[in-house]
Structures are given as structure tokens and as C-alpha cells.
Amino acid sequence: MSWDLQSQAAQLKADHLWRELRTLDSAQGPLVQVGGRELVNFSSNDYLGLADSAELSEAMQEGVELYGAGSGSSRLVCGTMKPHAELEAALAAFKRTEAALTFSSGYAVALGTIPALVGSGDTIILDKLSHACLVDAARLSGATIRVFPHNHLEKLRKLLETAKGRVLVVTEAVFSMDGDACPLAEIVELKEHHGAWLLLDEAHAVGVIGPQGRGLTAALGLENRVELQMGTLSKALGLSGGYLAASRQVIDLLINRARSLIYSTAPPPCLAHAARAALDIVTSGEGDRRRETLHGHIRRLSPGAPGISAIVPRIMGDETRAMEASARLLESGFLIPAIRYPTVARGSARLRITASAAHQPEQIQSLLQCLAQLGLSD
């Protein structure tokens, strides 16, 4: 078989699925510089506007001064440093669990956690719209994979009734492309009735939902009934990295079995130091103020909707139409890339609009006016 990469690239282009990297010439924020133009950025996951905040910049610099730029090794050799341990203790307190473990990314959390806990003879039951990292981790585990239609409780119940071995239900608190929430209380009841465990990815909920931004589990009072609480430091916390919050027994096992942790150099200690500062902001009065501002923007962008997440999609369906709408928005000064297959299902291409507490009211209003002119009002 030949390595005909050119025809593969050509097919992607013909299907309007070709992608290219876009370079920002400025810091991440509500206004960014791209190719000499200033654009209003409605595509970032920086929900609380912390990525370019003075507080996190200062904390990062302080972390470098105290602990240097690099960690030097993997966590189990000599790469675990004081900021890593302090951050994990803070995350466990934040999520009301016995312990927590940080990874280099949210993707690494999934790939390390799921195969370490389930394998051949076990069953993983996934929501159909679960993030790619959860799907890839399930495949890597060797467990039997069953998929239920998005948020379809009756199908989940039927799959639980026939599942074999250890059973792990996997879903998201807030879904990254649709912005809707899972029916968490009902899922918890089902998994408990059938003796299953639940892995809940709260990447897009933490910092945005619940008391002190502690996520959907906290908003519903279910923190002590979700065995595996996964999240990232790269959305509302404004940095990068991921974590799993769980029992001490689970975390100790992952330290010994999670390959994405064991065989990766530890994240820079300055990053962990800054993440600890980010967590302090998220749980403070300042965090509450930013959340209030964010939710005001969400209500304006999506009137009449539940408004619990900062993700406001405009479903276009056709890839070409989504690309054209994104291009017209770009001409008008808005950065909102089109989201296409395989990130979303074929025929469900969309504009994924995301709000930030750092946006100004006039920027929200300008976007709404532009969307109306393009016939894309909600």
C-alpha cells in the first residue's frame, strides 16, 4: 500500500474538512491580534478571563523564581515538587474528595485513568457525545464499549442491565460542543442502582457552575456520589493541565498504573503554582463577580435558554455553510471558527460561540447585531 498523503489531503479539502493552524500575535483575551488585524475573540475557553490576568502572570513568575522553569523528571522519579502536592491538596478540597492527581492535560487524565481502572471483561458505557479523549481512553482500555444516545436515560438503563464485569459510566457535566448539561441526578441514581461507577468530565463546568464554581456535582449536591470527577486547568482556570479528584484508594492506584502520568515529565512547577492561584481566584469573591458577569453575557447571547454554560452553538448543518458564516464573521471582526466533522457529527457543523467574563457588553451587542444581519440569531 502506498503512502499517498496528497490524495488524503485533497479529499479533506474537497469535503471542506481541511484545517490549518491559526497563529495569534497577542495574548489570549477578548481582543486578539491575528495577521495584523484586531479581532473580538468568541472562540476561547477562557471563561473567566484569567488567561492573561495580572494575577496569574504574577503567580507564574513567582513560581519560576521559587522553583525554576522545569520539573526535570517524571512524577515518580524526582519530578513531584511542592507546588504539585499543594495544588492536588487544593483540588481535593475544592472538589470535596479525599485526594486528587494532576496530569499534563485533560486528555492525559482520561488516557491514564480509564485503562487503569477497567479492562478486558469490564464494560464502559459512554454518552454518544462524550469528548474524544474519553472515547480514545475507552478503546485503549480493552473493555467492552457500549454507547447510549445523548442524555438518553432509558437506553442507559437498558445498557446497565446487561453490562458485564466492572461497569463504568462515562459522561460530561457540560458538553463541549452543545453547551448542554447531562441529567446528572438521574444518571447517579441509575449507576448506583446497578452498582456501577461514574466518571464525570467537568472540564466546561468547573469555574462556571455551582457554589464557588465547583461544578455541576456541587450545584446538585452530588459530590460524594460521583466516584471519578475529572476536570481541566485549561478552561475557566486559564492555564493548562488536567486532574482527577477521587478517593485516596483510586488516586494511589493511578499513581502506580496511569501510564500517561508515569511516563510523562511532570508539568512545570511554575504552572502548578499558578494553578493554585487560579483556584484561589475561582473560589473567591472575585470569582463570584466574574461568574456573575459571565452569566449576564450568556443570558444575552442565549435568551430563553437555561444559560448554565458559556458555550452557545449555532448549528449550521452543512460544512460549507458553516465555513462561509465563519468567514463573514471574520470579515466583520469576530473570531469564531467553524466546528466540523470529526469534532462534531457529519451534517452538524456549527459556529461554537463562547462567552468570557472579560468580554465587554458592547462586544456582546456587536456580535448579536452581526449574527442578526447574517440570519443567525437564536
Per-residue HEC secondary structure of 226-251 comes to CCEEEEECCCCCCCCCEEEEECHHHH
The verdict on residue 6 lying in a domain is no
State yes or no: is 136 an active-site residue: no
The average pLDDT across 129-137 equals 97
Kindly state whether residues 78 and 183 are assigned to the same domain. Answer: yes
Residue 3 has a pLDDT of: 86
Kindly state whether residues 118 and 97 are assigned to the same domain. Answer: yes
* Locus of grid cell 456573575: 292
84, 95, 191, 204: the catalytic one is: 204
Q: What percent of the chain clears pLDDT 90, i.e. is strictly above it?
A: 92
The residues near 299 (Cβ < 8 Å, ≥ 6 apart) are 307
Residue 378 has a pLDDT of: 65
Q: What is the mean pLDDT of the chain?
A: 96
Q: What is the pLDDT of residues 219-270, one digit of tens each?
A: 999 999 999 999 999 999 999 999 999 999 999 999 999 999 999 999 999 9
d(CA 233, CA 105): 8
CATH number for 238? 3.40.640.10
Q: What is the pLDDT of residues 138-156, one digit of tens each?
A: 999 999 999 999 999 999 9
State yes or no: is 204 an active-site residue: yes
Kindly state whether residues 28 and 93 are assigned to the same domain. Answer: no
Kindly state whether residues 158 and 240 are assigned to the same domain. Answer: yes
41, 44, 45, 234: the catalytic one is: 45
Kindly state whether residues 118 and 70 are assigned to the same domain. Answer: yes
46, 88, 127, 172: the catalytic one is: 172
The verdict on residue 135 lying in a domain is yes
Residue 308 has a pLDDT of: 84
Q: What is the pLDDT of residues 164-203, one digit of tens each?
A: 999 999 999 999 999 999 999 999 999 999 999 999 999 9
The average pLDDT across 101-112 equals 98
pLDDT at 82 over 60: yes
The verdict on residue 378 lying in a domain is no
Burial 342-356, CB ≥16 within 10 A → b, else e: ebbeeebbbbbbbbb
In the chain, how many domains are there? Answer: 2
State yes or no: is 172 an active-site residue: yes
Of the pLDDT bands very low, low, confident and very high (cuts 50, 70, 90), residue 90 is: very high
84, 235, 295, 297: the catalytic one is: 235
The average pLDDT across 273-301 equals 97
The verdict on residue 232 lying in a domain is yes
Kindly state whether residues 135 and 43 are assigned to the same domain. Answer: no
The verdict on residue 359 lying in a domain is yes
State yes or no: is 152 an active-site residue: no
The verdict on residue 364 lying in a domain is yes
Where among 282, 302, 333 does a domain terminate? 282
Kindly state whether residues 39 and 58 are assigned to the same domain. Answer: no
Kindly state whether residues 91 and 233 are assigned to the same domain. Answer: yes
Q: How far apart, in Å, do the first and last CA atoms of the chain sit?
A: 48
88, 201, 223, 319: the catalytic one is: 201
Residue 137 has a pLDDT of: 98
CATH number for 369? 3.90.1150.10
Residue 16 has a pLDDT of: 85
Its domain, for residue 146, covers 54-282
> What interhelical angle do 285-301 and 269-282 show, nearest 10?
80
Q: Is there a contact between 247 and 117 (Cβ–Cβ < 8 Å)?
A: no
141, 176, 309, 356: the catalytic one is: 176
pLDDT at 1 over 60: no
Kindly state whether residues 91 and 223 are assigned to the same domain. Answer: yes
Q: Which of 247, 251, 172 is nearest to 206 (CA)?
A: 172
Where among 282, 300, 321 does a domain terminate? 282
84, 95, 131, 359: the catalytic one is: 131
- Going through 111-188 in order, the beta strands assigned E by DSSP cover 123-127, 144-148, 167-172
Q: Is there a contact between 102 and 267 (Cβ–Cβ < 8 Å)?
A: yes
Kindly state whether residues 41 and 84 are assigned to the same domain. Answer: no
Residue 201 has a pLDDT of: 98
State yes or no: is 131 an active-site residue: yes
Kindly state whether residues 205 and 77 are assigned to the same domain. Answer: yes
The verdict on residue 360 lying in a domain is yes
Kindly state whether residues 59 and 33 are assigned to the same domain. Answer: no
The average pLDDT across 322-327 equals 93
Secondary structure (3-state) at 338: strand
| Lookup: cell for 247 | 478517593
The verdict on residue 349 lying in a domain is yes
Q: What is the pLDDT of residues 21-78, one digit of tens each?
A: 999 999 999 999 999 999 999 999 999 999 999 999 999 999 999 999 999 999 999 9
Residue 211 has a pLDDT of: 97
Where among 263, 282, 301 does a domain terminate? 282
d(CA 276, CA 215): 17
